[in-house]
Structure 1
Amino acid sequence: MINKELDKIDIGILNLLQKDATITHKAIAHTLNISPTPVHVRVKRLEDEGYIKRYVAIIDYKKVNRGLIAYTQVQVKPHAEENLIAFLDEVTKLDEVLECSHLTGKFDFLLKIAVRDMDEYNQLLRNKLAKLPKVDNMESLFVMSQAKHETGINLSK
């Protein structure tokens, strides 16, 4: 459910910015049939309130020689809070790790990793991941192809 503070114009702005963060306030205003000044005010409010976290360019991993994508599940033992925090403190420093999510289930964390090739992944696994605090078990899944990759969510539904 959408936050009650967001109206149709806010949702429209967010949907447009998710599709193209370079869209001008004038273009947003034209699309939403309002004037540019309220768009500017609303965008600033959405940024200040944390709805808009940042603006980014989506890079094609293959074109920058990081075409091997792995999802690595990591189990930390024992399951003490300080061990989980110690792992997080270190894993989030690794440039190869694009995402780190804390999970329920057998594994504690899911890492999305982008590297050049299997040799680079093997080096990362042996020389960095396996040496992180309290790592007990890891399992990796490699992306063979990608049918869908969305960076935004449809807020209109």
Structure 2
Amino acid sequence: MKNKIKLDKIDRKILEILQSNAKITNANLATKIGLSPAPTLERVKKLENSGIIKSYHAKLDTDIVGLGVSTFVMVSLKGHNKDNIDKFIESIAEIDEIIECHHITGSGDFILKIIAEDIAAYQRLMLEKVSNIDVVDSMQSMVILSTFKDSKIMPLP
């Protein structure tokens, strides 16, 4: 487990602002938090170097880029041992359409978030790649019909 890093009020404000708008300039960020640009940049670099800020991403409109089908797939493995888990993780790392993978408790072993161009592309992906992973025992697909909340903003304790 990683060491928890103590954040002060200014660090929390920086993280709140950057989660909402990672493209904000350092000068604008400095104004919003009430510091000059140099110490603001220093604080952001500290948050990046400590690993709290892992990366910056552009959020794409899936419809506009032609990715019309999103699903969650619950996967159960043939055996829940380290070798099977490692083989599964290694295999799914090679499949770009799997955009999230979570090891879970409950009736399945993993839940995947998969994005594809359309139902036909999704079906090909499942038949030709995911179901061919030799350690996979069963899969249950759930097609996402609508998304009402898709926030990437973490509530800071």
Q: Same fold (TM over 0.5)?
A: yes
Structure 1 equivalent of residue 91 of structure 2: 90
Task: Quote how far apart the aligned CAs of 1:133 are.
Answer: 2.9
Structure 1 equivalent of residue 63 of structure 2: 62
TM-score, with structure 1 as normaliser = 0.95
Q: Pairwise mapping of residues 113-152 of structure 1 onto structure 2 (< 5 A)?
A: 113-152=114-153
Once superposed, which parts of structure 1, at least 4 consecutive aligned residues long, lie more than 3 Å away? none
Matched position secondary structure for 1:114: strand
Alignment partners' CA distance in 2, 1:16 and 1:26? 13
Per-residue CA deviation, residues 64-113 of structure 1 (Å, 9 max, x unaligned), is 11121000010001111110110001102101001000001111111000
Alignment partners' CA distance in 2, 1:41 and 1:28? 12
Structure 2 gap ranges (5+): none
Q: How many residue pairs are counted as aligned between the two chains?
A: 154
- 2:79 maps to a residue whose letter is P
Structure 1 equivalent of residue 28 of structure 2: 27
Conservation of the 8 A alpha-carbon contact between 1:74 and 1:136? yes
Identity of aligned residues (%): 37
- 2:17 maps to a residue whose letter is L
TM-score, with structure 2 as normaliser = 0.95
Q: Pairwise mapping of residues 28-47 of structure 1 onto structure 2 (< 5 A)?
A: 28-47=29-48
Alignment partners' CA distance in 1, 2:16 and 2:133? 39
- 2:155 maps to a residue whose letter is N
- 1:125 maps to a residue whose letter is M
- 2:54 maps to a residue whose letter is K
